[in-house]
Structure 1
Amino acid sequence: MRPAFAVGLVFAGCCSNVIFLELLVRTHPGCGNIVTFAQFLFIAVEGFLFEADLGRKQPAIPIRYYATMVTMFFTVSVVNNYALNLNIAMPLHMIFRSGSLIANMILGIVILKKRYSIFKYTSIALVSVGIFICTFMSAKQVTSKSSSNENDGFQAFVWWLLGIGALTFALLMSARMGIFQETLYKQFGKHSKEALFYNHALPLPGFIFLASDIYDHAVLFNKSELYQVPVVGVALPIMWFYLLMNVITQSVCIRGVFILTTECTSLTVTLVVTLRKFLSLIFSILYFQNPFTRWHWLGTWFVFIGTLMYTEVPDATMMPTGLPRADDPTMCPGSPTSPDPCPTRERE
């Protein structure tokens, strides 16, 4: 019963979260920071009340280690936010972030001196080809949609390249963060809920540097049209309603994946979240009319087939120091950075 309930939470929470995120960024593409701040604040307050016991509970892992992890976590979140404002469409954002497997393997080879099976290399090759196809076709769309002015077209393409660079940097930084987290868990044990709380609470002071941007978007949100919230009958600006629902659905998504990782195998979790991603992608394309060609679909299939292949067969050459586990429910570079705010390391 609990696994079925968890799957329901994952699909309801994560899919809904992507919808409200896209509603937000389509109206204000640069609103990522205020969305991230709201999500971090919500999870931090909840964790302070129920996990940290109002600050009375001492962390199992020393704070100095969390500080290092949080610096990387905060950087990944902010960089991914800005990528959405650099001519990066939401479908490409979702597909490109599936390249976390590639980043994890590269850093695993370079830093941890890992070696993998041919099956693993084949699956990563499929993911790489799929991302390349989608990225290449998106580059063509960026230049074709620009105006007849060559300077405007070149400028749009440069901003798109910067967005791809930002996503690539965030992927590598996220993989490095996973390796660091893995070493901490080996030393101090696995404390999922604690890590989830500190990963969201400690970065909050960093939003001071983004205060002006957050304030500007709060003003824009206040100016949006009023929306009558069903059931409660309260009217509030529609952008605040979208933000509230984004935060709530993210929390539902996180809880769903957390339950799933405690009740099911890593493969089951990966299958559920991969299917969730695919359904979210289809909905984004059909409902929001995001441009998606047959080449994009081909690349998407390569990405998801490669991802499933990677998790299907265990690799003995990775044990016991393999890549961050697929059932790790603590690293959630959630926020707009992760259209999948599920707290699972392998996912995004």
Structure 2
Amino acid sequence: MNNMTYGNFKHETTGTLMKKGFIALQDTYTAEKAISHLRKNVQGKTNIHYLYILNSDSQLIGVLSIRELLGASDDEWITHIMKTDIISFPTDLDQEEAAKVFRDKDLVSIPVVNRTNQLIGVIHVEEILDVIQQEADEDIRKLSASGKEIDFRTNPFVAAWRRLPWLVLLLFIGLISGGIIERFEATLEAVVALAFFMPMIAGMTGNTGTQSLAVVVRGLVSEDITFNKSMKLLFRELIVGIIIGITCAIVIAIIAFVWRGSLTLGLVVGSSLLATLIIGTLAGTVIPLLLYKFKVDPAVASGPLITTINDILSLLIYFGIATIFISKLM
């Protein structure tokens, strides 16, 4: 009954995760006979948490925990004590979706059935923990723009080839930052002190954007994102950006004032940091949500891409505000 063949299943689906080490019971068994069957078949099997009740066509009709079986009287039919509201997987369900079900339902084992509802395997939580680790590793690689798997054994030329496409793209995008600095060269020459805070402004904006990106990508893996959830997330990150921005802006404004003795410089640097941190946080939230909306893997919105975009925005804001107050800075 539990020696059915697997067949061929798509990669990273429930069909490839399932194990055949389950114990099935006929729906004609009493509790006494079920316990006897359990004793005869439990040897060599691990993770036996549930017993699965099948009809004469090997179709899954119920599930029973060992504790419930042992608590029943000997002559009680197992069909009277089994649970019929069964959570099961098809063979072609994506492993990420299966992991979400395990998390939401808090189960240790879930059966896998074929198209005719015949029991062909069981997935245990141990396999799902491996899936969660694997998916997390994939997301981390994508967040770092390294693309396909790169580990200690990867050939250096292969590793470089897998990283280069993103980095070349970011190189050309990064040239825009150089163009912005050239555009505001007069402002920078007039107030040299602005150059001191330029790396900090760009770096902080990129950092907060990457933090938001990591939060969103992790949420997209574990949550079913709806429009309302997206709006709530966007509003929350806006509040987070404002709080972080105000705190950091006050600190850097005081530092700029104490260092240069210029209240105007402190206000320019502080207000620039406030604006860029808010925008950086929102960019790190909106971009992966948009990619998810258009059926693109949101982890592709990698950290370096967010950082590069935020560099451009932060420099525009910083030098824009400084140019407005140039007369008071000199």
What is the TM-score of this pair, normalised by structure 1? 0.27
Bigger relative contact order (CA 8 A; separation at least 6) = 1
Q: Which one has the bigger strand percentage?
A: 2
Q: TM-score, normalised by structure 2?
A: 0.28
The structure that is helix-richer by fraction is 1
Larger Rg: 2
